Chains A and B, each alone.
Chain A
Amino acid sequence: MTMKKISVICLFLLSLFLSSCFEVVEDMKVDRDGSGSMTLTVNLSQSRTKLAAIMMMDTINGHKVPERQDIQQEIDKLVTRLNSTPGISNAKGNIDFTSFIAVISFSFRDVANVNRAISNIMDQYKVKGMSAANYSYNEAEGRFSRVYKNTGDVREQYNKLRDRDKEIFSSAMYISIFRFENTITDYSNKLSRVARNQLAIMQRCSVKDLINGKTDISNQIQLSK
């Protein structure tokens, strides 16, 4: 009985015992002229013990476990792709394999450029249907909007997952923050909350509800002139 066998047993037990949990944070800052920056964070820190165990295994639930360098390479590819997207600049990507937090950030010349950038991210990670989100900003009227339409593709893909894979999404959270230079005077999505200084608006929901179309994250935000 080698040490390797022992550690494989321990890792397998860990992957069985530990629950999964993660949060996705979308933080977008829009300047008056429609330019701005965006940071997307996937924080898997709550599952780090399990992930550390999984990362040392070859497969989990029948899926191949990627190597660290493979994950890093994917992020590097995404950054390159984003930097070559029209209107997108200063793209950066980083993953912390100790806390298991991945961060992608970039600047945009116009809010409309973000649509293509998000579409590239979804393509890179082979997520279908999420590209239905559309960001727009009318500088003259001071109106920002995000229109999200759940096409059912994501739900369909989710439903195809095995129960033990679905469990990963059971307590995952999605947090969206939009920040502006002007104050927010009105907004259409009443599930979101405006910050005390009225310069930011946040919405929290479960990833599972987002997938199943139970939560709407579309929002029309009117800014002061």
Chain B
Amino acid sequence: MKRALQLVTLLLAGYTGMAQDLAYKIPEKARMVASFKAEQLFRLYPAAEFDTSAMGRELLEKISRKGPADFKSIEDLGLDLKGTIYYYSQHTDSINYDCVLIPIKDAGKVEKLFTEDERAAFTRQNGVTALQNAVNKPLVAWNNEILVVTYGTLNKYFLEDSTNAARYGISKADDYGYDNVTDPVIYTDSAIAIADSAAYYADSAATAAEPLTDIADTATQPPAMEEMPMAVVDSFATVSVEGAENDAAPPVAEDADVPPPPVVESYYFDPNKEKRDSLTKAWVQVYTTGIFNKPAGSSSILANPDFIKRSDKNAIASFWLDNLNSTYAGFLPYYYMRYGSLFQGYGSINARMYMNNDNMRITGELGLDDAKTASYKKIYNRKLNKKFLKYINSDSLIGFMSYAFDTKAYLDEIPRMLNGIYGMYKDETEIGADLFSLLLDEEAVAKVAKGDALFVLSNVSAKEVSYHTYAYDENYEYKDTVKTKTETLPDFLFMFSSEDARLFVKLLEYGIKKGKVTFAHNIYSITSSRKNPFNLHILFKDGIVFLGTSLTDMEQISTDTYRGNLSRQHEELLMKNNMTLYFNPNHLGNKLFEGEFRDLGAIADNLKGMGDVYIKSAGVKDNSVSFDLVSEVPKDKGNALKYFIALMQDISKLK
């Protein structure tokens, strides 16, 4: 129930609407953007219906308990009903901002969401009401149109630079417990950052707006905020933190009236931490002011062609990450980047969620540069072996997973793909890659495993297993006895193409010599042991290596008497994609219920009530690898949103 409420709360945030979409408030250089379209969500689950549902009532009661108002409907929360809520993240070299933008319909109602104590702490300025951000808490601010939640995280590597640290009065460069870093790369970058920030201050002095609170008046501007020139305070001063040397401080207005230092929290034992928190708090306030003052038509994420290309107005929710490589780099200090980047060549990641009466679909892409695209195209240039399809029974299978890539192409491409990843060790990597190619006969390896494989979870069945226990006589002397019991074990069949199975045969023949493997009717068998809980059977036939748990299936495959029954849906899924994962919860539920899980009927019932789930990827297209996740909605469940909320409620009851 808690999870379901969390989802609803999230969705509620999107239950808003306003004349103007808030995307223009998102800076052009946002690293990550997520959005939820409330109008579509509540089309699937109407507000009136939600208000009277068990979950809706519980949520409203919970909110009512917190504040002074008694909420009877989600419409009473003051949020606009037809808009889009956005979350975005912006990284600078000094601070990372995480922001949520929620459109508002009635600011008066929004205020009732807060407790009396919180309301007493409100500050009001220029039509913006703000709840003062305590240390490590987000700043919440709103006007009549938008509610903004801003959370700032100081970049720990920024203040490791002694110049930056001194500038803000932080006395120890190794304050975070990291080693002093003396690499010249860092100083170079930091100097650039300072120059950037100085330029920003010069620019920003042109247009002024009042910050949200007095504290912001005392704050210096964070560097690299060039996108928001309106976010400027009246009079600049360096951060008023005791001990600050201010050598590298940005320009300060001559008539700056520097107020006292920020409030000193009594629990601080570390004065540097206090200074860092003050800095964070002040920057967050200035940044939030900038969001309110940012006009439509100014430079924003809407000018980012990749973001626009990946957006879809029909998506109920969407996620966009600017660049995988730069995001990864953003979490590392400059120093480490000289070693190269693991994700070089990967671009943006994005995903969109759609919900309707039949299914929930998440579709996404991972962007690739031209070199990576060329490599992946070669690697994915393989289809699944069509002969695999004969051994699938769609009527009863629980799931499958398939993969098709070209082993030879993969081995050929490895050296190329490694290039650039290891930065300063580029030469060494190239030599290593050449050696790899020299030692490896790619063609021979590709014959052993061509690169396509299919794993079919065909059944779960009862199997008799032995165990040790004790039999007691009349005098309670006991002896070890072996009994048997029935266990439900999964049956699977794994197949992969191989033109040269001699290596596997040699291994199995060696196993026979050692008494670990038996051979009969062309089938090698390995009985369950400590290391292997399954009885496994191996068969080589028609250029396919079969590995499975069912001897009957293997015998039928061997004698060409196996009768598969593949549905068109499964055939398309397997043959049109390079990777698939399919799961049929209904089939699993039916089988578990018959087995030892009859006491856990609720789990089986839940599984039986679920629709099919599958993930597929058709490889590379338009410089990106795409994927689709589809979860089908059973006929009697209304639509995807209602289905998932009900499902989460059911699952939460199992606990």
A residues near B (Cβ < 8 Å) are: 1, 6, 9-11, 13-14, 17-19, 23, 25, 43, 45-46, 48-49, 52-53, 56, 97-99, 101, 163, 175, 177, 179, 195-197, 199-202
Give 18 pairs: A residue, B residue, CB < 8 Å, sorted on A: A1-B402, A1-B453, A6-B494, A10-B492, A13-B457, A17-B489, A18-B489, A19-B487, A23-B470, A45-B467, A45-B468, A48-B467, A49-B489, A98-B529, A99-B468, A101-B468, A175-B470, A197-B475
The answer, yes or no, to whether B403 is at the interface (CB within 8 Å) is: yes
Q: A1, B468: Cβ atoms under 8 Å?
A: no
Q: How many residues of B contact A (CB 8 A)?
A: 34
User: Of residues 589 to 622 in B, which have CB atoms within 8 Å of A's CB atoms?
Assistant: 592, 596
Chain A neighbourhood of B200, CB < 8 A: none
Chain A neighbourhood of B534, CB < 8 A: 10
Shortest distance between the CB of A156 and any CB in chain B (Å)? 19
The answer, yes or no, to whether B133 is at the interface (CB within 8 Å) is: no
**Which A-chain residue is minimally distant from B403 (CB atoms)?**
A1
Contact A46/B485 with A1-B403, A17-B490, A56-B531 known, Cβ cut-off 8 Å: yes
Secondary structure of the B contact surface, majority rule: strand
**Which A-chain residue is minimally distant from B453 (CB atoms)?**
A1
User: Of residues 527 to 583 in B, which have CB atoms within 8 Å of A's CB atoms?
Assistant: 528-534
Q: B475, A199: Cβ atoms under 8 Å?
A: yes
Shortest distance between the CB of A207 and any CB in chain B (Å)? 15
Shortest distance between the CB of A63 and any CB in chain B (Å)? 18
Shortest distance between the CB of A62 and any CB in chain B (Å)? 15
Shortest distance between the CB of A47 and any CB in chain B (Å)? 8
Chain B neighbourhood of A10, CB < 8 A: 490, 492, 534
Chain B neighbourhood of A196, CB < 8 A: 474-475
Shortest distance between the CB of A150 and any CB in chain B (Å)? 25
Chain B neighbourhood of A56, CB < 8 A: 531
User: Of residues 440 to 480 in B, which have CB atoms within 8 Å of A's CB atoms?
Assistant: 453, 455, 457, 460, 465, 467-470, 472, 474-476
The answer, yes or no, to whether B635 is at the interface (CB within 8 Å) is: no
| Given A6-B494, A19-B487, A201-B476: 9 more A-B contacts, CB < 8 Å | A17-B592, A18-B489, A43-B469, A46-B469, A49-B465, A52-B531, A179-B476, A197-B475, A200-B476
User: In the complex the two chains form, what is the Cα distance from A17 to B529 in whole Å?
Assistant: 18
Q: B460, A17: Cβ atoms under 8 Å?
A: yes
Shortest distance between the CB of A23 and any CB in chain B (Å)? 7
User: In the complex the two chains form, what is the Cα distance from A110 to B489 in whole Å?
Assistant: 49
A-B interface pairs (CB < 8 A), number: 78
User: Of residues 283 to 299 in B, which have CB atoms within 8 Å of A's CB atoms?
Assistant: none
Chain B neighbourhood of A202, CB < 8 A: 472, 476
The answer, yes or no, to whether B488 is at the interface (CB within 8 Å) is: yes
Q: A25, B489: Cβ atoms under 8 Å?
A: no
Q: Which of A48, A97, A163, A175 has the most CB of B within 10 A?
A: A48
Chain A neighbourhood of B474, CB < 8 A: 195-197
Q: B475, A200: Cβ atoms under 8 Å?
A: yes
Q: A14, B468: Cβ atoms under 8 Å?
A: no
User: In the complex the two chains form, what is the Cα distance from A102 to B474 in whole Å?
Assistant: 25
Chain B neighbourhood of A177, CB < 8 A: 476
Shortest distance between the CB of B319 and any CB in chain A (Å)? 26
Chain B neighbourhood of A13, CB < 8 A: 457, 490
Chain A neighbourhood of B529, CB < 8 A: 98
User: In the complex the two chains form, what is the Cα distance from A200 to B529 in whole Å?
Assistant: 37
The answer, yes or no, to whether B401 is at the interface (CB within 8 Å) is: yes
Contact A163/B655 with A17-B460, A18-B487, A49-B487 known, Cβ cut-off 8 Å: yes
Shortest distance between the CB of B597 and any CB in chain A (Å)? 8
Chain B neighbourhood of A101, CB < 8 A: 468
Contact A43/B468 with A98-B530, A196-B475 known, Cβ cut-off 8 Å: yes
User: In the complex the two chains form, what is the Cα distance from A175 to B478 in whole Å?
Assistant: 12
Chain A neighbourhood of B531, CB < 8 A: 52, 56
**Closest 3 pairs between A and B when the two form their complex, measured CB to CB:** A196-B474, A45-B468, A1-B403
Chain A neighbourhood of B494, CB < 8 A: 6
Chain B neighbourhood of A175, CB < 8 A: 470
User: In the complex the two chains form, what is the Cα distance from A163 to B600 in whole Å?
Assistant: 13
Q: Which of B401, B455, B468, B494 has the most CB of A within 10 A?
A: B468
Chain A neighbourhood of B475, CB < 8 A: 195-197, 199-200
Chain A neighbourhood of B487, CB < 8 A: 17-19, 49
**Which B-chain residue is minimally distant from A23 (CB atoms)?**
B469
Tell me which of A6, A14, A197 contacts B489 (CB under 8 A): A14
User: Of residues 396 to 415 in B, which have CB atoms within 8 Å of A's CB atoms?
Assistant: 401-403
Chain A neighbourhood of B530, CB < 8 A: 52, 97-98
Q: B401, A1: Cβ atoms under 8 Å?
A: yes
Shortest distance between the CB of A143 and any CB in chain B (Å)? 20
User: In the complex the two chains form, what is the Cα distance from A1 to B455 in whole Å?
Assistant: 9
Chain B neighbourhood of A97, CB < 8 A: 530
User: In the complex the two chains form, what is the Cα distance from A175 to B531 in whole Å?
Assistant: 30
Tell me which of A9, A49, A195 contacts B533 (CB under 8 A): A49
Q: A18, B476: Cβ atoms under 8 Å?
A: no
User: In the complex the two chains form, what is the Cα distance from A6 to B472 in whole Å?
Assistant: 42
Shortest distance between the CB of A142 and any CB in chain B (Å)? 20
User: In the complex the two chains form, what is the Cα distance from A93 to B525 in whole Å?
Assistant: 35
User: In the complex the two chains form, what is the Cα distance from A186 to B468 in whole Å?
Assistant: 33
Q: A45, B469: Cβ atoms under 8 Å?
A: yes
Q: B488, A17: Cβ atoms under 8 Å?
A: yes
Shortest distance between the CB of A53 and any CB in chain B (Å)? 5
Chain B neighbourhood of A201, CB < 8 A: 476
User: In the complex the two chains form, what is the Cα distance from A179 to B473 in whole Å?
Assistant: 14
Chain A neighbourhood of B402, CB < 8 A: 1
